[in-house]
Chain A
């Protein structure tokens, strides 16, 4: 079974902290994605990556950055956490090219206080 593993299910951070959310997939997928999910707003793409060291902005990249140094790992970084970044964060991966099944991690519920 394909596994997408996010490092934490729940995280509480203080305003202004630098926050790292980690995602690891074990199926050698090319594509990896970071989404945030808020009630009534659906899935919004923050960043995605289609290869090591490659990244593209999604729909809401402001306040976030990403890193993909190895194919299996995709990190989301909140440079200076703010309360409006309190949300559920979902990582996903899929084999390239497009039109293939995506596999999601269990999500990280981040609360910024």
Chain B
């Protein structure tokens, strides 16, 4: 039931790209992405809704493949500030609560 995130960890040099995947065994209604920097609270990145609508706040893109029950987060031209743990949260139609993945740790080095 818990979504599977991959990879578990990734190390990048500044300017490199990364893709983080989130897969579910259940049909999805929406996918939520958050980033948590060390010692800080998780911060919202993006929501992807069934039907293709996206709501986001940053210059980070994502896709949502409803048939495959999978979402991917694309981090391009990474910056040092992208470092942190990325979590996906899935809404399988049950309304108000999300089911969270275990997170992907991303480190961007100079």
Q: Is there an interface contact between B41 and A97, defined as CB atoms closer than 8 Å?
A: no
Asked if A27 is an interface residue, CB under 8 A from chain B, the answer is no
Q: Is there an interface contact between B95 and A97, defined as CB atoms closer than 8 Å?
A: yes
Q: Is there an interface contact between A102 and B44, defined as CB atoms closer than 8 Å?
A: yes
Asked if B100 is an interface residue, CB under 8 A from chain A, the answer is yes
Q: What number of residue pairs across chains A and B have CB atoms under 8 A from each other?
A: 57
> Do A58 and B97 contact each other (CB < 8 Å), given the known contacts A42-B87, A42-B103, A98-B30?
yes
Q: Given the complex, which residues of B lie within 8 Å of A4, measured CB to CB? A: 41
Please report the total number of A residues contacting B with Cβ < 8 Å: 27
Within 8 A of A (CB), among B1-50: 2, 29-30, 32, 34, 40-44, 47, 49
How far, in whole Å, are A50 and B94 apart by their CA atoms in the complex? Answer: 13
Q: Given the complex, which residues of A lie within 8 Å of B57, measured CB to CB? A: 101
Q: How large is the interface on B (under 10, 10 to 19, 20 to 34, 35 or more residues)?
A: 20 to 34
Q: Give chain A nearest CB distance to B43 CB in angstroms.
A: 7
Q: Give chain B nearest CB distance to A76 CB in angstroms.
A: 16
24 A-B pairs in the complex with CB atoms less than 8 angstroms apart: A33-B97, A40-B102, A42-B2, A42-B102, A42-B103, A43-B42, A43-B89, A44-B100, A45-B98, A48-B96, A48-B97, A56-B97, A58-B97, A92-B42, A96-B96, A98-B91, A99-B49, A99-B91, A100-B47, A102-B32, A104-B41, A106-B40, A106-B41, A107-B41
Residues of B at under 8 Å CB distance from A?
2, 29-30, 32, 34, 40-44, 47, 49, 55, 57, 87, 89, 91, 95-98, 100-103
